[in-house]
Amino acid sequence: MNTLDLSAPEAQLAATEPPMPTGHPVGRLAGFIDRADPGTRAALARLDPDAMRPHQVAVLSRALIDAGLSPDTWQPATWKRWALVAHGMALAGHDHKKRLGQQLATMQGGQPVVAEARVTKLLVSRGDAFLQIVPRLLRLLASKQAKPNWYDLSKLILNNDAEHPTEQAEVETLRLRIAGDYFSAIARANKA
């Protein structure tokens, strides 16, 4: 049999399978949201990760699948965390050009976008307390038109309660890097 024969069942199956997406899922999700129609973006921006409505689950599912993720295998906690990421991207946008700590410290009117007390609370909170702080932070960032770096913020959200020691160490390292970036940027701004 000729390997180029498209009538072969294997070739027909391969021709119908979508190509594997390339890039990081966070970047692909941000791209989906950027390209989405206003209704889709609005549904994601209004989404409450703790109480998703059926139409919001449908929109979120399409976004996650387009990003190359497999939500059909997830536990409810994973759904909630990715819902928070998609909600935040739709609400505040995504900017990968600076690290999150620098973005939180960006000066507006002589003050950082996010106050030191709020950043400290974000970095020391864990579990449900952390997940309750994030939506308020996102609304604040959106009101100040400050787009967070979702590569950093999603890692905090998705690994908030990591049980594996390696993941715990990575998240703690990220928290320290965010703190270092934030306070360094504030110190530089105060000297200028």
Any idea what the Cα angle at residue 48 is, between residues 43 and 52, rounded to 5°?
80
How would residue 192 be classed by pLDDT, with cut points 50, 70 and 90?
confident
**pTM for this prediction:** 0.85
- Tens of pLDDT, residues 96-120: 999 999 999 998 878 999 999 999 9
Residue identified by tokens 């390997």 is: 3
Residue identified by tokens 């932070």 is: 137
> Percent of the chain beyond pLDDT 90?
78
Beta-carbon contacts of residue 118 (< 8 Å; ≥ 6 apart): 133, 137, 140
142: nearest Cα among 75, 104, 92, 180? 92
> Percent of the chain beyond pLDDT 70?
89
